[in-house]
Amino acid sequence: MKNILIFNDFSREAEHATELALLLAGKTNTNLYVWNTFDQAHERVAKELAAINANEEIVEFDADNTSWIEKLESKLNWQSGLMPVVQFIEGVDYAPDNVFRIVQKYDVGMLIKGITANEDEVLRIGSEALSCSTKSGCPVMFIPEKFEYKAFEKMVYATDLRFCRREVVTFLSQLAKMINASVLIANIPAEGLPYMEDSYARSVFEKETLNPGNHEHIYFSNIRERDIPKAIDVLVNGMNNDLLVMVNHKFHFNELLRHDVSYSLPDNLHVPLLVFP
């Protein structure tokens, strides 16, 4: 596994996502790189001005960019004994156009971003993070603030088996081995394509997906339901998978996230979403 990079905007959801990122880095023996998406000092001034204009008490702001994550590291070490290497990205301003060189320089293989529901309880994953994924070639994991802090036990890759990406399966297989999890390949026919009969789908899965290195962690399910939100609801909530995996702008991704520039997750999905470019 390559290293992990998390985008930090000093929000509650970013801190929550960092807890999970630290756990994953510890279990996969990788480094965690933290990239601040804005200057905290500028944000502190903005909050002070907002408090003054609203006639509210000015809250003390911590100017130390590292103390918050040191507390999370201590918590993880106390709970699990894990202590991953954490480093901050310095000298390069955060921007999607700068992601590729950061990924190359620090050998990053996965991006992470925390998300939270807006006032309408809608979980928007944001096009900028998807752009970072596309420009860098790395998958990006969106972690809802309400997701329970834990390592994944059951991951599901929703795909049409005829377009199942081998590099996605390889990535998930490697991750599953390191964190002692399982991977379910859920075959859902893409819009306009015929349903694959069970015996044929199973033979394609065994021939194209399984190999001696991953057969102990990877399972298969042939889904008849063509309504994607319903199918995903069953896979996540009915079958208790705690990581949903999809490919950006492909088939089920667009059907689930509503073909919108500001993509949003259905309100019944509160598990992390791993999106491959």
Task: Tell me the per-residue pLDDT of 67-83, one tens digit each, with 9 for 90 and over.
Answer: 889 999 999 999 999 99
- pLDDT at residue 215, rounded to an integer: 79
Beta strand extents in 116-262 (DSSP E only):
123-124, 140-144, 154-159, 182-187, 218-222, 243-247
- pLDDT at residue 216, rounded to an integer: 84
Report the chain's mean pLDDT, rounded to a whole number.
Answer: 87
- Residue that is written with structure tokens 């290497």 in the block: 85
- Please answer whether residues 112 and 4 qualify as being in contact, where contact means their C-beta atoms are separated by less than 8 angstroms: yes
- At residue 47, does pLDDT exceed 70? no
Residue 46 banded pLDDT, cuts 50, 70, 90: very low
Average pLDDT over residues 149-175: 94
Which alpha helices (H) appear in 153-249, and where do they start and end? 166-179, 198-208, 228-233
- pLDDT at residue 61, rounded to an integer: 44
Distance CA 213, CA 234 (A): 28
Please, which residues have CB within 8 angstroms of residue 22's CB and are 6 or more apart in sequence? 32, 69, 72, 73, 76, 82, 84, 86
- At residue 146, does pLDDT exceed 70? yes
Could you say which DSSP state residue 239 is in? S
Q: Please tell me which residue, 62 or 148, carries the higher pLDDT value.
A: 148
pTM of the model: 0.88
Q: Please tell me which residue, 206 or 251, carries the higher pLDDT value.
A: 206
- pLDDT > 90 fraction of the chain, expressed in percent and rounded: 63
Q: N- to C-terminal Cα distance for the chain?
A: 17
- pLDDT at residue 65, rounded to an integer: 66
- Which of 16-25, 44-53, 129-138, 162-171 comes out lowest in average pLDDT? 44-53
